[in-house]
Structures are given as C-alpha cells and as structure tokens.
Amino acid sequence: MNILLFTVDDMNWDTPGAFGGQYGDCTPNLDRFAGKARCFRHAHVTVAVCLPSRSVLMTGRYPHHNGSEGFRAIHPAVPTLPEWLKDQHGYRTGILGKVAHCCPPHKFRWDMQVDYEDLGFGRDPNRYAEEMETFLSERDAAPFFLMVNSHDPHRPFHGGVQEPQKWTEEERRHIPPPDRVMTPEEVNVPGFLPDIPEVRLEVSEYASSCRRGDECFGKVLEVLDRHGLTEDTAVLFLSDNGMAFPFAKTNCYLHSTRTPLMIYWPGCTEPGMDEEHMVSGIDLLPTVIEGLGLTHPDDLAHPAWLEPLHQTDREHWRDIPPSIDGRSFFRLVAGGTQENRDHVHTVFNRTRGGRQYEMRCIQTRDWGYIYNHWSDGQLDFRNESRSGRTFKAMQHAAEHNPEIADRVQHFLYRTPEELYNFAADPNALKNRIEDPEAAEHLQQLRQHTTEWMQETGDILIKDFQKP
C-alpha cells in the first residue's frame, strides 16, 4: 500500500464542510473526499505550530521525547516514519513543500524533494500537480510514501496586507489566485474573535487561501487517479494546527490543536464521522504502521534499531526513551471502537522567533485545562497572529470597547491556569478556574496532567507541583 499524507498549513478544524464549513464554500474537493473517508470529530495535533507539529507526526513522540520542542531538528537518535519505511521496507519517499520543516534532512531520507520556492511559494496547485506527476512517473515497483504540504492557508493570506510585505511584485506573479475568492459576507467570524469589519475581512482572506489549498488537494488526487493508484494508496489529510489568528495557532485552546483529520484507506475505511473517539497527531505513525501490516504497534514500541539516549539539560535534549508515545487508532478507521480514547494531551514550547511560552493542556470531549508556565503578569505573548489586520483591529476597538479590551489583555498575559467547558464554551470565553461548580473537573484534570508529566518526564513537573 502506498501512503499519501497531505497537510495544509494553518487550516482551522471547522473549515471543511464535514466539520462545519464555517468559512463559506472554500473546500469543495475536501468535501467530496470526506464522503468516502473516515473523519474524526475529535482529532487534535499535539503542538499548534508547524515544525514541532510535523515532528510529532513523523516520530510518534512528544516534543520533549523527539528533541523538536521549538523550531529545532529532531534528535538523530529518534527514527522518523519516512526513514523507517525507506530503510526497513524499501519505500520510495518524497516531499512537496515544507521541506525545511522536516529536519535534519538525513533523518527523512527523501528520494525526491521540492520546496516552496519551486511550488509558487507553496501556493500553486498546478506546480504541485506537475511535481507529483514527476514523482509518480519515476516510480518503480516499490511502494511510496509521499508527503504533500500546501503552504496555504498560512499567512500571508490571498489579498491580505502582508502579501506585498512578504513578496516582491515579480515573486507574486508566480502565485496564482484561488479559483474563487471569498467575500466577507460569505464567512462566519469565529467566536473567539470579535465580529468587526477588519477581522471579518481578514477571515475572508483566510478563506480564499483555504480555497487555493483545497484546489491543490484536488489536483493531487487527480494525478493519483490518472496513474490508476487511487485504490492502491491510503490518503491521509489534516492541518498541522489551527488558523493563524489570536487564540488559535501557537496556543493550547480547542481551536489551536483540533484538526480536520480524514483518512481513506482502500479496503478498510468505513466512511462517515467518528463522533466519539479522541485521537492525536502523536498516534499517526503507529496507525500508519499498523495499517500497512509491517509491524504491530506493540512491537514498534521497542525497536531494536533505536539506541536510547539520556540527557536532561533543559536547553539541549530531554530524555529520549526507546519507545514511541502514540498508539494506533487504525481500528477506528475501519469504523471500530477503542477504549481509553477520551482525552488528549497537547503542549506548546517556543514560537518560531524563539520566544518561550511553555504551556501544557489536557482536553476531554467536554473540558479543557491549560497550564501556562510562562504567565507572570509581565511577559506579553508575541506570535505571528499579532501581524496582519485582526490583532491591530482588536487593539483599536479595545480603546472604546471594554469587552474587546479584556480579550486583548487576556491574549497578551493570560493567567497561570485556565479551565473551560469546551462543550458549552468552545471559544474559551469564560475561564472557570475559580468557579466552585467546576472544582471537581479542575481537580481531575490537574491530576491527569500531573500523572502525564510524571510518566513522560516533563521537566515542568517541578514547577507544576509547587504549592
């Protein structure tokens, strides 16, 4: 069986129609694909920022177990999925886009790699199709693992104020417009943002970029079908994290890590939406391995070809244990059930700019608890969501709107702990950390977080347990 892993950059989980379609008709190809795929309502990535998120996908390990806590390379002692498939099972491997986010290069063993400069800055669907055509035309009898990474809808958004700041006029000629541009009237503004004109405009620009990313997905599937490989290729689709707006990407909220995961595995998939089980990006590697029938996940947990490494210097490598952290959910792809799928742990460590904002989170289907290790009332939160239209518009509106002023203040400084009833408050508008009616939930989630930190050797456990 071949593997096609398609990721989009910064698409919010509720963008495709099957997951809510909150931003207009911007995902027609994904919507068709959802009709034959197994979709997961409660899927999350482990880290809501691109390189660390992908490092987890490719290793099945938490960041403090794979070395890639911020924008750092995976530790050389940790195996990656493409490396393992190529070296152990003879797979041909390739990657289109986001090449620099899979590092160090020798840990991925790509037979073919094309980065974003040669793909219309990761935004030209036709260039993706052409390079995939090349990859498939050059294949031999060996199965393949191809990772296709659309840079849409990452900032700069189509038509946004950041495009001319990012690219020259000549460079922008290599970036085609979406086949349909979304308007402010067509989109919903997510509930964690104020519905004011500049925010609504930028959400529509985000949606236009989603439309182009969706077009890329459709073009790739067309090439696969043209080569007669549709029924010989497992297709996995997800976003690496939530949308690049305040309270989503580079955080630990529901809209930070929730992802529109869809899987089509020929001969196995039970189409439809899994409404019950919680799965995580950390589980992707063992799921693929079990689906291929190459190694049972229980055996994969202790590969003889991985040498254990034990170093605990906070600024270098954490403990690298000889086992993966994820576990396969392949039986769910076939419509089955699985126990102990009622929560996920997510983390955040550093932004691309190297700023350290360590967070830990546990989410169940109904509740979410976040520990903000960095929050001290003085350090302010700086990430890419502060660029563009939205945050500036929020700051301007805050001058005369107390409710928006409170949101801006909370975004910048947070509190050490946050507790939300995500079932009733998915946009995390009411922190219930001091609500006596939520005290039992708080105690349980704190305990689960403590146990997870202890089990995984999280260095924050010392501070977390302080009275």
From 335, 366, 387, give the residue that closes a domain.
335
Length of the chain, please?
467
Distance CA 452, CA 458 (A): 8
Same domain, 323 and 451: no
Same domain, 437 and 375: yes
Quote the strand ranges of 292-416, DSSP E. Answer: 343-350, 356-364, 367-372
From 335, 366, 399, give the residue that closes a domain.
335
CATH number at residue 458: 3.30.1120
* Domain tally, the chain: 2
127 falls within a domain = yes
pTM: 0.94
CATH number at residue 296: 3.40.720.10
Same domain, 117 and 233: yes
Q: Which two tokens stand for residue 76?
A: 């050389």
Same domain, 389 and 315: no
Task: Give the pLDDT score at 304.
Answer: 42
- Could you report the average pLDDT of every consecutive run of 10 residues in the chain (467 residues)? 98 97 97 98 97 96 90 88 93 96 92 96 98 94 96 97 95 96 97 98 98 98 98 98 97 98 97 98 96 65 43 50 88 96 96 91 97 96 93 97 97 97 96 97 97 93 85
Task: Give the pLDDT score at 298.
Answer: 44
Distance CA 253, CA 248 (A): 6
Same domain, 290 and 397: no
Same domain, 119 and 35: yes
Same domain, 328 and 361: no
Q: Are 212 and 175 in contact (CB under 8 A)?
A: no
Closest among 307, 380, 372 to 346, alpha carbons compared: 372
Distance CA 146, CA 15 (A): 24
Q: Which two tokens stand for residue 437?
A: 């009616």
Task: Give the pLDDT score at 72.
Answer: 87
Task: Give the pLDDT score at 166.
Answer: 94
Give phi and psi for 194, each to the nearest 5: -75, 140
Task: Give the pLDDT score at 334.
Answer: 95
For residues 420-440, b (16+ Cβ closer than 10 Å) or e, as one string? bbbeebbebeebbeeeeebee
For residues 302-329, b (16+ Cβ closer than 10 Å) or e, as one string? eeeebeebeeeeeeebbebbeebbbbbb
Closest among 279, 215, 194, 168 to 30, alpha carbons compared: 215
Same domain, 375 and 330: no
> Which amino acid is residue 19, in one-letter code?
F
Distance CA 132, CA 116 (A): 14
Task: Give the pLDDT score at 219.
Answer: 98
Same domain, 405 and 326: no
Residues 6 or more apart from 247 whose CB is under 8 A from it? 192, 193, 253, 255, 256, 411, 427, 428
Same domain, 26 and 157: yes
Q: Report strand pairing: 92-96 vs 144-150.
A: parallel
350 falls within a domain = no
343 falls within a domain = no
For 260, the domain range is: 2-335
Same domain, 320 and 418: no
Helix/strand/coil for 128: helix
Same domain, 7 and 149: yes
431 falls within a domain = yes
